[in-house]
Homo-oligomer: A and B are copies of this chain.
Amino acid sequence: MSGADGTSGTDAVRVVVVDDHPIVRDGLSGILGTEEGIEVVGEAANGREAVAVVRANDPDVVLMDLRMPGGDGIDAIGALRTAHPTRPRILVLTTYDTDRDVRRAMTAGADGFLLKDARRAELVRAVHDVAAGRPVLTPAALAALAGRRYEAEPTDREVHVLRLVSEGLTNGAVARHLGIGEATVKTHLLHVYKKLGVGDRAAAVRVGWERGLI
């Protein structure tokens, strides 16, 4: 834990690992801990713990999973960023680099985005890169930010409608559920189709699920 001096005497990068899976935490700690120039100074299992652990240990880099029970990763990123604009560099390390996740994480203040199937060398290099202030992005994440692949993101309302549709509700049922007209529901869905690049509700549900909307 607090092995290095407070004045960043050694130039070892101090890292906190945040993931709900003990296995993944051990994997990350194992890979990074044996590396020269990197020191794992704390672990957390969810977003809330992450904020506390970071406050206690003041690391250089936080490796953060996004989808966790009890304290979302996005919220944790926002909390860390509002507390301090640059101090702990945040590297998001998650399973899927869906468009939505990438954007939400980066706009929340993350400094990098890496997939969990990264090789050891990639991971180590990424930690050093974000520590040095260089952004880290997967190709898909880059494309998502460039807005090349999907130019439009469904509205909250549209996503809500899509979610209800995925539950099996008919347009009329959705309308009643939301207290709006059925025609409105259809318009929302048409917009969803356009934005997801599909032609019907079934395909919309699939793509919506793939992108983490549902």
Query: For residue A214, which residue of chain B has the nearest CB?
Result: B206
CB of B27 within 8 A of CB of A25, answer yes
Q: Whole-angstrom distance between the alpha carbons of A33 and B23 in the complex?
A: 13
When all copies of this chain in the complex are counted, the total is: 2
CB of A21 within 8 A of CB of B117, answer yes
Q: Whole-angstrom distance between the alpha carbons of A179 and B30 in the complex?
A: 53
Interface with B: A78-86, A131-139, A165-173, which one?
A: A165-173
Interface flags for A120-146 (1: CB within 8 Å of B; 0: not) read 100100000000000000000000000
Contact of A120 with B22 at beta-carbon distance under 8 Å, contacts A28-B27, A30-B27, A202-B202 already known: yes
Q: Whole-angstrom distance between the alpha carbons of A123 and B200 in the complex?
A: 43
Q: A183 contacts the other chain (Cβ, under 8 Å)? A: no
Q: Which chain B residues border A20 with CB–CB below 8 Å?
A: 117
Q: A103 contacts the other chain (Cβ, under 8 Å)? A: no
Q: Which chain B residues border A214 with CB–CB below 8 Å?
A: 206
Q: A178 contacts the other chain (Cβ, under 8 Å)? A: no
Q: Whole-angstrom distance between the alpha carbons of A23 and B31 in the complex?
A: 8
Partner among B26, B117, B165, B203 whose Cβ is within 8 Å of the Cβ of A27 = B26
Q: Which chain B residues border A118 with CB–CB below 8 Å?
A: 22-23
Q: A201 contacts the other chain (Cβ, under 8 Å)? A: yes
**A29, A119, A166 — most chain B CB neighbours (10 Å):** A166
Query: For residue A189, which residue of chain B has the nearest CB?
Result: B202
Partner among B23, B198, B203 whose Cβ is within 8 Å of the Cβ of A116 = B23
Query: For residue A115, which residue of chain B has the nearest CB?
Result: B21
Q: A205 contacts the other chain (Cβ, under 8 Å)? A: yes
CB of B26 within 8 A of CB of A31, answer yes
Q: A209 contacts the other chain (Cβ, under 8 Å)? A: yes
Contact of A24 with B22 at beta-carbon distance under 8 Å, contacts A166-B202, A202-B202, A209-B209 already known: no
17 additional A-B pairs beyond A170-B200, A205-B206, beta carbons within 8 Å, are A20-B117, A21-B116, A22-B31, A22-B119, A23-B116, A23-B123, A24-B27, A26-B26, A26-B28, A26-B120, A166-B206, A167-B203, A168-B203, A168-B206, A201-B201, A202-B205, A205-B205
